[in-house]
Structure 1
Amino acid sequence: MHRFANPARFLRIARWATPLTLALGLVLTTAGLVIGLFFSPPDYQQGESVRIMYVHVPAAWLASGGYLGLAIASAAALIWRHPLATIAARAIAPVGAAFAAICLMSGSLWGKPTWGTYWVWDARLTSMLVLLFLYLGYLALSAAEGERGNDRKGAAILALIGAVNLPIIKYSVEWWNTLHQGASVSILSGKSAMAPEMLAPLLISVAGFSFLFSAIVLMRMRAMLAEQRVEARSRRLAEAVA
């Protein structure tokens, strides 16, 4: 992994990986949503409202997965001081925050016909809201430290502390008596309680959203590296003139 921390080597990989992941993301997301929204069967209990699942579940998984990536990148920045680790964390944070917001908004829309209300202080919902606040806190602290010229250690530490919230999100429906239903799909065991007609478009949507997430992160990292190069060149020119 250390050899990929070289910015030049990363950029060589990212140049072809970005359009590939973007194309796969657009194709798979479109396919998954079209099949899920128009061709999959309604749920026998929730009816047509279950179709929100094809947006809500991928957004929830990627919001949590994105924060895990943020925490890993922050740990690498603190421990090994990888050149790209801080950039990766900064690139992931706003994308993960957007997916957390989509998760909360789609969950509220799903909750109204299911629970009769847009919001309850359910353990799963509350812990996901905390996740959004952790993303926003990281962004604010990282921006503040960047303006002061710091190396963003405080933001990295916040990211690591916030990772404690991830198992709470995962197991909240098991640890507490919540309105939110338990997991219908287990990635680790490969088991599912869903009908194949509903599971297939869901997994396609998850794959599509994952590729889109990756493409956006790669684009942001490339833009940040380009910005760093421009700033470094401007400083060299200023020093040469002086």
Structure 2
Amino acid sequence: MSWMDKFDPKLQTMVKEVDAQIAPQLAKIDARILENQNKVLTSFQNHHVAESYLTGSTGYGHNDEGRDVLEAIYADVLGGEDALVRPQFVSGTHAIGVALLGLVRPGDDIVYITGKPYDTLQEVLGLAGNGIGAPQEYGIGVDYVDLLPNGAVDDDAVKARLNDKTKVVAIQRSRGYATRDSFTVDQIAAMIKVVRSVLPNVWIFVDNAYGEFSETKEPLEVGADVMAGSLFKNAGGG
């Protein structure tokens, strides 16, 4: 006897039909999970992760081999040259702010090409709030290019907005609190191609929150220079 037997036969039939309809998509997700899991486990093996790396530390980093290995694994798995994975970052917004502001100096501009960044980042970047401590106080400009009505990047507007003052081009992969679709890695690769056609040497930053492991490639593998995310999301929260 199945647990489903207590339900109406029509409902049981409907469930089976829906299961059959979504089976191909579930199979793709399962394959993606296995590929990413293999990537992570292989990196653990290559870096010879041992029990001694899991001991606690003071947080100062002196002789903290576990932290060094953890960051090496993150860099390896996400396609980067190096990584910072620290409890000193209290949130993804904190990590993103540090990454962005670490790339600019007075007189530089940060330009988001995926529309206005999500709410929690707007105060950090001086797009909302009282502006105290915002980049603008230090002569750093922050701007954004609106998306097209269909949620796509406006390539022509992006090309028109970029100039010699643009030091960082930022891409928000997730929809945040908007209704648009999140961007795929292939779409990000296309954005990067457009940006590089105008400014070959500009820093390209990707806010990858919610994006880690959602595909088998990451933005750093298609030309992004710097990436940050949140351990509340895929990489830490499952």
Band the TM-score falls in, shorter-chain normalisation: under 0.3
Higher radius of gyration, 1 or 2: 2
TM-score if structure 1 supplies the norm length?
0.27
TM-score if structure 2 supplies the norm length?
0.27
Please state which structure has a larger fraction of its residues in helix.
1
Please state which structure has a larger fraction of its residues in strand.
2
